[in-house]
Structures are given as C-alpha cells and as structure tokens.
Amino acid sequence: MVSDTPSIATLAGKRILLGVSAGIAAYKSALIVRLLKQAGCEVRVVMTDGAQAFITPLTLQALSGEPVRTSLLDPEAEAGMGHIELARWADLVLIAPATADLIARLVNGMADDLLTTLCLACEAPKLIAPAMNQAMWRHPASQRNAQQLALDGWQLIGPASGDQACGDVGPGRMSEPETIVDAVASHFTRALAPSRGPHVVITAGPTREALDPVRYLSNHSSGKMGYALAAAAVAQGARVTLISGPVGLPTPQGVTRIDVESAVQMHTEALRLAPDAALFIGCAAVADYRSASPAEHKLKKQEDSDTLTLTLIKNPDIIAEVAALPADSRPLVVGFAAETQQIERYAADKLARKNLDMIVANDVSQAGLGFGSDENAALLLWRTATGIEQRSEPPQPKTQLAQGIVRQALTLLSV
C-alpha cells in the first residue's frame, strides 16, 4: 500500500510516464502502476521489446486504463509523432526497472527505440530505478554510467541489496514499488516549495597553485565525490551552491556553481557564502601550500643545475576558518579526510582539532577507490551530546555514498 503521508497527496492529477525495460523485476511495474493510480496519477506506460517477454502490455493497459506504447513509429499516434506528444504530456518520467543496457544507452544519448527517444525529447524531471545482477551493478562501466546519469539530472532510486532471481546476493535489486512511489511523491513535494530547503555550500575538486604561467601544483582529485554530494543534496530538497576547482564535470541539475582555480580563490568564496549557509561540506582537495612568488614568465630549465628550489607558503585552512565563524553565522560543518593509515585515529583528531561537526574519512590507499574512481568507501564520525558516534560505509558508487553522507548531515542539522 502507498504510505499514508502528506507527500502522496501531491500526486493527485500528476501525469507520470512509466518506462519498463527488460528484466525479471518488470513484474513489479504492475504494482507501481496500481499504486500511482491509487494516489490519483494519470499513468501512461512505454515498454521496450525485451520488457514484453516478462510482462504483457495488456496487463499494464488494464491497470493504467491507457494504451501501452511499444513502437517508436506508431502509425496510429497523432500525426505519426506520438513520441513528441508523449514527451510533452508527462509531468515526470519514471523508468522501473532500468537494465544495465538501457542505462548505458541513456548515458550515450541513444534514441533507437521509443523509450530512449522519449527521454531525449522530454524536458520533464526523470527518475530511474536500476535493476540488474549484483556483478553487473558493481562493474565499473555500470558505476560510471550511474554517476553520469545523476550528473545529467536523473534521480536514482536504489538499487536495493538482497536476494536476486539468479541466486546471487548483493546490490542490484530494484527498489520496492512502495519506495519508488514514495520517491515520486517526494519529488513533487520538493517542487512545491523548492526554496524551503536549507542552503548547502559544498567545495569540490582540486585547486591549482601557479608556479608560472604554464605550470602549477595540484592533485589527483576528480571532483566526482563533491559533485555527487551536490546532486544528492538537491535530491533531498536543499538549495545548493557548489564551489568547484577545475574539473571536467557537468554541473548537476539545480545546483549553482562557482568556478575557482586556487586555494585563495576558494577561500574567498567559502568565507563569503558560509555565513548564509545552514550546512557547509568541505569536500575539495585543497592544496596545503602555494608558491610564495609565482614567476611572471615561464621558468626555464637551468642547464648548469640538476635541482630546482621552490619556496612554498601555507594556504589558508578553509574548513577550519568556516568552523571558527561566530555562532550566529556558523553553519554545521562537515569535513573530509583522505588518509592512508590509522583512518579512525586521524579522522577523530581532525574532527576535534578543526572543531568540525562531522567528518568523512577515506582510505585513499585502497585500489579502485577514492581519487578518480567512481566508487568510494568511508568512515563517518560525528559529534553528539554524549560524545562521538561513527558508521562505516562499505565500497559503493559515489552517488550512493553521497546520499548517505548528505542524509546524515541533514539529520544532524535537524537535531
């Protein structure tokens, strides 16, 4: 049954375009249609060819009360352009289940069937519930695709973990229909009052510290974790400003982005925005040092010397300065710690030393996690009235980890 919450009332009269792709979880799409109809939605269903091997169009037609569309070039559709008509009709696109193949085609902008064509043509918000074998979900290609979908503005629902039809156990199960319908309802609840959410300021990516006009000091940060946090915060109803170092990532939908290069520039923007924020997340990999005097012209190699001496000075400690703001203008502050050993000890020390409210510690020595990767693991530590609590997050997509981090931070904000 649909949960009895005020958010469900916001579904009355909403036009939901449900896409169903191939997979055993397609049988759950019938319950999704039923729950959406019970909540007062108009529902139209589009099925891929493969989906029809698992559930018949007639079943979904009977439940939705509308013809089910399966063909891109339908001669019975209005003027032969029914896909454009459907794209304009929808208030929201929901794909459940979404296979690995469909997700890959969406990421690459393909339009080789009705469902993918609709997704390109439709400007409405889009939610997607992945469903696949646990090994397929964990594959680096699937993780890259899931992260790119989130950056492109899709809201991912799940996947859940548990027993799978193939006998495996792990992440990849489609979220339950009730969870999916609740996510649809939550989307419209946020849309009714988008400005009510807390202002969240996030720093992301590396900084570049100039040595001369063509060289700089930097690090391997890709910005993926910070951008995933920004997307997750928007999905949870926040108003987000992202202060970004130089990265090659698109701005998540609904996020205000400010581009900076150096630590000093990031420091300036952070101190300007932090007093207006409820939550500040310092995820950027800020360079600890910068050149004391960047050269005006390109430094030339000295043929008579095998060494080059640089004088470096400390950069401002952005997260510590935000945490030290007066109480009446200080946001809740979340920091990150990239460590290679004694993770818990160093994270707890940084939490106390910099007066943070919460810290997310990563073991960057683990292969396939952290810098440049689509997956990460973390140890979360946060202050409570009685001491320090902590929770370990196992390796998972950064988009999924970001949701848990933001959820914990917003929980602390409401205490």
| 283 marked as binding residue | yes
| Cα dihedral 290, 296, 300, 305 in deg (nearest 10) | -50
| 304 marked as binding residue | no
**Looking up tokens 């997607």, which residue turns up?**
128
149 with 72: CB under 8 angstroms? no
**DSSP assignment letter at 14:** -
| 317 marked as binding residue | yes
Residues 6+ apart with CB under 8 A from 126: 92, 93, 94, 95, 119, 153, 154, 155
| 398 marked as binding residue | no
Query: Which tokens is 405 given?
Result: 């981090």
Beta bridge partners of 279: 200, 332
**Is residue 166 among the annotated active site residues?**
yes
In degrees, to the nearest 5, what angle opens at C-alpha 260 toward C-alphas 364 and 277? 85
| 182 marked as binding residue | no
Burial of 160 (0-12, 13-18, 19+ CB in 10 A): middle
| 318 marked as binding residue | yes
Residues 6+ apart with CB under 8 A from 179: 157, 158, 160
| 316 marked as binding residue | yes
Which residue in 41, 119, 122, 166 is the catalytic one? 166
| 197 marked as binding residue | no
Binding residues for CTP: 282-284, 288, 298, 316-319, 336, 350, 354
Residues with active-site annotation: 166
Tell me the binding residues: 282-284, 288, 298, 316-319, 336, 350, 354
